[in-house]
Amino acid sequence: MGELGLLCIRYPLEMGGGGAGKVSECILGEEFNRICAGIAAGVMVPGGLATVPIYQFGSQELKERILLPAIRGEKIGAFALTESDVGSDAASIKTKRHYC
């Protein structure tokens, strides 16, 4: 998927992405979901949840070390959401971010 630019389809071609827009990303997700929701999630999480914060807010060094290899499929981007009392029910999470 990374070699084809489909793993992170919305990232620019010069970064190794597919150069596509949100509509194309949604169509790709729908097509994968027709076959297997697990595969769809496996493609959509790295291209969205796991890499977008680095793309938007990361330093150039972080982008080169983490983002570009993730777009190419050389590193795996992941997303974790849990809390001991609520599991993955995001609406019930009580932990708040504290700024120092």
pLDDT in tens, 30-76: 999 999 999 898 888 888 888 998 999 999 999 999 999 999 999 98
- pTM, full prediction: 0.74
Give one DSSP letter per residue of 11-76, joined into a string. S-GGGTS----HHHHHHHHHHHHHH-HHHHHHHHHHHTTTTHHHHHH--HHHIIIIIHHHHTTSS-
- Report, as an integer, the average pLDDT of 2-12: 89
